[in-house]
Amino acid sequence: MAPKETALAPDAPADPVATGWRPGLDGLRALAVLGVMAYHEPNLVMAGGFLGVDLFFVLSGFLITGLLLDEHRRSGTVSLRSFWNRRGRRLLPALAALLAVVLIVTTLIGDVAQRHDLPGGLLSAVFYVSNWNLIAHHQSYFDQFSSLSPLQHLWSLAIEEQFYLIWPLVVIACLSRSRKLLIGVTGIAAVTSIGLMAFFLGNGDPSRSYYGTDTRAFSLLIGALGALFAWHLRPSGRKTLFAGIVGLLALAGAFLFIHDSDRWMYRGGFVAFAFVALGVIILASGDTIVSKAMSHPILRKIGFLSYALYLWHWPIRVFATDVRMHLPNTTVGEIAGIAIRLALTFGMAWLSMELIERWFRRSQLGVARFGIGWLGVGAVLVGFALLAAPSAGSTIATSIGADQSASRERTLATPRDPSRPSLLIVGDSVALTLDNGVRHVIDPKVSIVGGSELGCALLLSPKAMTFDGSWTKDGTQCPDHNDYWSKLVEAQTPDVVIILMGAWDLYARDWGDGPVAPGDREFDQKYTEAIDATLKVLSARGAEVIVLTTPCFEPGPGERAGPQHDVKRAERIAQLQRDAVDTLNQSGPTVLSSIVDLQSITCDNGFTQTRDGVAWRPDGVHFSIDGSQVAARWLLDSLPDSARSRLGLPAQ
């Protein structure tokens, strides 16, 4: 009789090995991938579902280390060639199919930011460095409010593959001397990784802590330590009942109640979860309540598909939104959206397994041919992505946004030059692009400080419509913007502040009584309170605040019209901005704020395509490089004389 299949790493189907079948581990893989899918589903609430990735990490470290130990015990060595060839056959074909489909779909219906990021995303996916690419571009895993990359989820597979590349070498080197050496090296590496996570968080960069291979390796290494001590342990008996119940309840509680914004997770929480996960994994390997629960046939089948499910669920979530599918914004519509995305995900996962993964697992392709073929596929995909990418003029927000998001601490730490007038520009990505133009055309004696950030809205809410039309569980994309701007005002004491907010405040919100949009009483009241608070922050040190009215927006190339393109909404927000300026000015003896009507020149009988012969907003939202200078010249000419005087500019 052929040996049964055992659960291997959570990123690949199971493999026959001498240690026998562990069906409970297939069920744990199912829980992990279902948790991640639920966390990413906009119409569900599973706050801690992202911890499914951590469960995957611990399980990978446990299983891979155990299999390496078994091979070394049987043969006295580990065949790196065979190990890496097996990994390649299991992982690369399915990933290649996913990348090809993402390339086609993004080219056809992706927004400007998605098409701009696609070549880099494909290239980093081919070389399994997606996590470092996200770190370099300061993209947050927890940000579901801005434009979503369909390849963002590959960061965790990159960490695992980097582990698979290095870890067998470490195991071989250590076991050539002693098992105790391997235990010591593993423990030291895990403690170092835990320390690095806390260190980088202390430096104010959670994306670095979350995505880094060095900062996340401890989960894999804790799993490896579990294999070193308990690989052949098969718990059983009544004594395991209490431990099993507690372990399963702990996993369920973590998935349901831990929130992605809980910073204590970076200071020991992820470590604690890794040890809980390891305990459950060991219990699932024996004859316990955990193994019985996790061995349910449905869970085992889902676990067998877990790699393909993980690959396909995120791009489907990005592109198959409720709005794109024209589903009503009702409970029935939300349920329909969930059902459609689940059907698509399981369907694509099944096709991937049956048509691609099974065939390549049986193939006899060697390492060299497989590697050459993989690089060839990658080169073709990246080449086509470069052809589909938008021009540089429409992607200025992407390029300067990465620089801005990394510069908070540097900006706050830079002292003001008291000999020069100071201009502070704040807002979202639209303000970022305008900032670029102002720096090019203003008198160089004026010192400019940039305080804008991508994806910022003035209006915070527990539930908000996202960039792609779906609803996010948390609309606080940058909940500390007033705190940050207050610190900037205190540090820089600017003479003039310019604020420009883009489309984020045009989306509907929900404070518990149903969706409301600009023009609805609740929305208008909340927005008025928000802008009043922001204007008080910006004017706290006596600066004159220039409020640019929110402009009109137009769908970019290949983009469908959405709520943000509703001119009536933009007009309503502009009126609320004018009212807020009047209210602030009535609160004191001097003029603290002025309106500059950007909306009037961007909504002249509809969306204004060009100005001064320049296509200034080619993506319908942001100013191009040339367009930002056109807008900046208009802005400086439109400033009231009081603001021009503060900046040392001649009166108009």
Tokens in use for 77? 């060595």
Q: Residue 67: inside a domain, yes or no? A: yes
Q: Residue 10: inside a domain, yes or no? A: no
Please tell me the distance from the alpha carbon of residue 464 to that of residue 476, in angstroms, as a whole number: 8
User: Region 432-438: what's the mean pLDDT?
Assistant: 87
- Predicted confidence band at 549 (pLDDT cuts at 50, 70, 90)? very high
Do 365 and 422 sit in the same domain of this protein? no
Do 96 and 149 sit in the same domain of this protein? yes
Do 240 and 297 sit in the same domain of this protein? yes
**Any idea which of 12-21, 297-306, 344-353 has the lowest mean pLDDT?**
12-21
| pLDDT given for residue 606 in this prediction | 66
Do 371 and 433 sit in the same domain of this protein? no
| pLDDT given for residue 375 in this prediction | 60
DSSP string, 361-382: HH----HHHHHHHHHHHHHHHH
Please tell me the distance from the alpha carbon of residue 36 to that of residue 49, in angstroms, as a whole number: 5
> Residue 546's beta-bridge partner residues?
498, 594
Count of CB atoms situated within 10 Å of the CB of 132: 18
Do 272 and 334 sit in the same domain of this protein? yes
| pLDDT given for residue 372 in this prediction | 60
Mean pLDDT of the chain: 83
Q: Among 388, 408, 428, give the residue marking a domain's end.
A: 388
DSSP string, 2-14: PPPPB---TTS--
Q: Residue 641: inside a domain, yes or no? A: yes
Do 244 and 187 sit in the same domain of this protein? yes
Cβ atoms of 29 and 62 within 8 Å: the answer is no
Do 443 and 384 sit in the same domain of this protein? no
User: Region 38-51: what's the mean pLDDT?
Assistant: 85
Cβ atoms of 325 and 310 within 8 Å: the answer is no
Q: Residue 462: inside a domain, yes or no? A: yes
- The total number of structural domains that make up the chain: 2
Q: What is each CA distance from 445 to 119, 418, 545, in whole angstroms?
A: 39, 12, 20
Q: Among 366, 388, 410, give the residue marking a domain's end.
A: 388
Count of CB atoms situated within 10 Å of the CB of 649: 18
Please tell me the distance from the alpha carbon of residue 128 to that of residue 159, in angstroms, as a whole number: 8
| pLDDT given for residue 376 in this prediction | 63
Cβ atoms of 569 and 562 within 8 Å: the answer is no
Per-residue model confidence as pLDDT tens digits over 183-204: 999 999 999 999 999 888 765 4
Residue type, 481: H
Do 322 and 459 sit in the same domain of this protein? no
Do 423 and 384 sit in the same domain of this protein? no
Phi-psi region of 497 (alpha: psi -120 to 50; beta: other; left: phi over 0): beta
Q: Is the pLDDT of residue 18 over 60?
A: no
Per-residue model confidence as pLDDT tens digits over 234-273: 888 888 899 999 999 999 999 998 987 677 888 899 999 9
Prediction pTM value: 0.66
Do 95 and 151 sit in the same domain of this protein? yes
**Residue bearing the bigger pLDDT, 414 or 287:** 287
User: Region 291-301: what's the mean pLDDT?
Assistant: 93
Q: Residue 393: inside a domain, yes or no? A: no
Per-residue model confidence as pLDDT tens digits over 575-634: 999 999 998 888 766 667 899 999 888 887 667 777 877 778 877 888 887 788 889 999
Per-residue model confidence as pLDDT tens digits over 449-476: 988 877 778 888 777 776 556 666 554 5
Burial call 41-78: b when 16+ CB within 10 Å, e when fewer: bbbeebbbbbbbbbbbbbbbbbbbbbbbbbbbeeeeeb
Q: Which domain holds residue 356?
A: 23-388
| pLDDT given for residue 16 in this prediction | 37
Q: Residue 236: inside a domain, yes or no? A: yes
Give the DSSP H/E element, type plus range, for residue 637. helix 625-638
| pLDDT given for residue 409 in this prediction | 65
| pLDDT given for residue 172 in this prediction | 94
Tokens in use for 463? 């539930």
Q: Residue 12: inside a domain, yes or no? A: no
Do 436 and 334 sit in the same domain of this protein? no
Per-residue model confidence as pLDDT tens digits over 479-518: 678 888 999 999 999 999 999 998 888 888 888 888 899 9
Please tell me the distance from the alpha carbon of residue 377 to that of residue 99, in angstroms, as a whole number: 10
With vertex at residue 69, the alpha carbon angle to CA 174 and CA 19, rounded to the nearest 5 degrees, is 175
Q: Is the pLDDT of residue 86 over 80?
A: yes
Inter-axis angle of helices 306-319 and 331-351, nearest 10: 140
Tokens in use for 628? 């930002």
Cα dihedral: 382, 109, 478, 204 (round 10): -10
Q: Residue 401: inside a domain, yes or no? A: no
Do 372 and 433 sit in the same domain of this protein? no
Q: What is the CATH number of the domain that holds 588?
A: 3.40.50.1110
